[in-house]
Amino acid sequence: MSITQPSKLRLVAPLSRGGVVERQLRGVYLITDQHENLLERVRTALRGGVNVLQYRAKDKPHEAMLAEAAALQQLCRASNALFIVNDDIKLARDLDADGVHLGQDDGSVAAARDLLGPDTIIGVSTHSLEEALKAQADGADYLGFGAMYPTGSKMITQMPGTAGLAAVRDQVRLPIVAIGGISPANACRVIEAGANAVAVISSVLSAPRPELAVAELRLLFNRTAPFPRGAVLTVAGSDSGGGAGIQADLKTITLLGSYGASALTALTAQNTRGVHSIHGLPPSFVRDQLQAVLSDLPIDVIKTGMLHTPAIISLLAEQLSEQPRLLPAVIDPVMVAKGGAHLLERDAVTVFVQELLPQAYLLTPNLPEAERLLNRRITTIAAMEQAARDLHALGAANVLVKGGHLTGAEAQDILFDGSTIHRFTADRIFTSATHGTGCSYASAIASLLAQGEPLTEAVRRAKQFITTAIRLARPMGKGHGPVNHYLAAKEQAP
């Protein structure tokens, strides 16, 4: 069978090999299974930011594996991801794969190197410090280490867990790919124990949206980076009073420890008493800002606020969908200012629901916004929960309905992640200093996601931040005063 292969990654200088391998073997390492529609699922996952794809196929004829693997390899090349073959040295040679991953009983590193050449990346599965040290001495380029947690993909006989991983990390210089039962829900401890990458199968390939599952895992690796940690691009309007909009976003992002970039959609003349006038920016200029930032800066999360017009909403939706790597979007459907001014043109809601809402990683409406999106009243906690489910059904991956407009001693927010309702409660603070709360809350969530916090923890900490910012607000202006970003961030600092 003749298959034209794309050229594989070549590690040019021997001295730089370790660094190149370490950079490539960071993040999400996806292992294939016999999943239905495998090629399409992998294509989608690669857009989420998979760094390495390991092809594993059992009980298939060599020619069938060669054809399937070649198609997957083409996808990897288009996404600049490494393509590794599991166990089968002959298949790796026939494909001219980037590498091969060997089990303890799949032959020696030296034999694989002789057959595949000096540039091929060779990994070895290990389950103990002794096996890890031997693989390193034998010349492996990286280690697979596990299992971290129980898994249904294979019989687990050894489970060293995160403690075993930490012990290996202390004594081995090679990149380590942690494997076994890892998902976005438990990956934080694995990363903190020293994993350079996490190997996943069903938590991505069986996810409703594989690209989002990968993006969630990818962001978790930022948790070990130095500050400023992670970068957030806010797409919103300007508030000349400084309490909301782009100004509040950038204050929040910076004070919480991330890097903030911005794209303006509109200019407003406003203060604590209200919006006096709005000057919408041309969609072409909004596009120029987005492209200038995204073509240069390593943005991790996009946060949106006031988008103002249907044209800008459509433009942003198009720009998000065209990004080669998916950027999780925290979408705050800003519609009405505290003083009552309409910040979203009336005919823009339909465009928002049809084009942008389905691209939301997290949608963060307050009650009036949720009511407008769903065209019904929401007056109870139970109604908030149903609203979160219904907005998820419209396409948002996760929905946070904020309950600040309800009455009662507590302010409760409802997060629905597609399967579970999470509740976040804080004491209600009776004050008029609430200007910019929605902008700041959503920006805090975006910042914490960019820093490597999982969604529920990001929402919990952001809720704590905005509650503190309201509580510590100082009188300013003659209307709805701004919250205190500075002292809230200072109180929450680790």
Reference 234, options 290, 309, 314; nearest CA is 290
To which H or E segment does residue 271 belong? strand 266-271
Measure CA of the first residue to CA of the last residue in the chain; give whole Å. Answer: 59
Q: Is 402 a residue of the active site?
A: yes
Q: CA gyration radius for the chain?
A: 25
The Cα 474–Cα 483 span in angstroms is 8
Q: Is 224 a residue of the active site?
A: no
Q: Is 438 a residue of the active site?
A: yes
| DSSP structure string for 112-153 | HHHHH-TTSEEEEEE-SHHHHHHHHHTT-SEEEEE-SS--SS
Q: How does strand 362-363 pair with strand 329-331?
A: parallel
The catalytic position among 194, 241, 436, 481 is: 436
Residues 6+ apart with CB under 8 A from 215: 48, 49, 326, 327, 328, 361
Say if residues 314 and 351 touch (Cβ distance below 8 Å): yes
Residue in the block written with tokens 């391998």: 21
The catalytic position among 161, 230, 305, 438 is: 438
The Cα 178–Cα 294 span in angstroms is 31
The catalytic position among 162, 265, 309, 437 is: 437
CA atoms within 13 A on the CB side of 362: 30
The catalytic position among 123, 180, 280, 439 is: 439
The catalytic position among 364, 434, 467, 468 is: 434
Q: Residue 325: is it exposed, middle or buried by C-beta count within 10 angstroms (0-12/13-18/19+)?
A: middle
The catalytic position among 402, 403, 463, 467 is: 402
Residue in the block written with tokens 């809601």: 349
Instruction: From residue 380, give the alpha-carbon distance in Å to each of 94, 217, 333.
Output: 63, 34, 21
Q: Is 309 a residue of the active site?
A: no
The Cα 318–Cα 340 span in angstroms is 30
Catalytic positions: 402, 434, 436-439
